[in-house]
Amino acid sequence: MTVTLPNRLVPDLSGMLAHASHVLASQMSAAFVELGITPRAFCVLFHALEAERTQIELAEIADLDKTTMVVTVDELERLGLARRQPSSTDRRARIIAVTEAGEQAVAAGTKIADRVHRSVLDALPPGSRDGFAAALGLLVEGPLATPEESARPVRRARQRRN
C-alpha cells in the first residue's frame, strides 16, 4: 500500500542541521587525530586557556556531563596538556591549568578547527559564506540558544569513543 505524504511547506531544518552537525563532528574528529586529542579535549583546553576556570565551569561551557569531563581532564593530564590545581581566588576550588604543551596544542588545534570550518564554508558560493555564518549565528544566539524544557527530554546522540 502506497501512502501519499503531505507536502512539506518548510524545509526540514531538524534533519539538515542534525546531519550537518554529525558530519562536521566526524570531520573534526578525523582532523584532530593528527594532534592526538579529540575536539572535546581541544574545547576544554581552549576555554581553560581563556580564563581561570573550574572543571564544573568548563564542563558547562563545553556542554559535557560530569563523567565525560572527568575522563577528558584525566586524559589531558595524562598527555601533559593540563593539570588540576588550586584556584588563585578560592582555596576550596580547583581549576584546570593549561601547560606549555597544552598551549601549543591549543595553537595547533585552532589551526585544525579553522581549516575544517574553512573547507565547509569554501563549499558555498563566495557571496553566501558570510551570510550563512551570520544567519547561523543569529539562530544559535536567538531562537536556538536554549533547549526547550519537555516532559520527554531529547537525548543527544552518543559519541563513539576511539
Q: What is the DSSP letter of 85?
A: E
Inform me whether the pLDDT recorded for 3 exceeds 50. yes
How far apart, in whole angstroms, are the C-alpha atoms of residue 73 and residue 54? 11
Residue 127: phi and psi, rounded to 5, are: -75, -10
Where residue 156 falls among pLDDT bands split at 50, 70, 90?
A: low
pLDDT digits (tens, 9 = 90+) for 78-136: 999 999 999 888 888 889 999 999 999 999 999 999 999 999 999 999 999 999 999 99
Residue 116: phi and psi, rounded to 5, are: -65, -45
Residue 141 lies in a domain: no
Structurally, the chain folds into a number of domains equal to 1
Residue 22 lies in a domain: no
Residue 106 lies in a domain: yes
Residue 57 lies in a domain: yes
Q: What is the DSSP letter of 45?
A: H
Residue 147 lies in a domain: no
How far apart, in whole angstroms, are the C-alpha atoms of residue 10 and residue 83? 48
Residue 161 lies in a domain: no
Give me the pLDDT at residue 131, please.
Answer: 96
- The residue among 159 and 36 whose pLDDT is bigger is 36
Q: How many CB atoms lie within 10 A of CB 109?
A: 23
Where residue 161 falls among pLDDT bands split at 50, 70, 90?
A: very low
Give me the pLDDT at residue 100, please.
Answer: 98
Residue 21 lies in a domain: no
All three cell numbers of 46, joined, read 581552549
Enclosing domain of residue 55: 29-114
CATH of residue 103: 1.10.10.10
- The residue among 41 and 155 whose pLDDT is bigger is 41
Query: What number is the average pLDDT over the span 13-35?
Result: 95
pLDDT digits (tens, 9 = 90+) for 100-113: 999 999 999 999 99
Residue 87 lies in a domain: yes
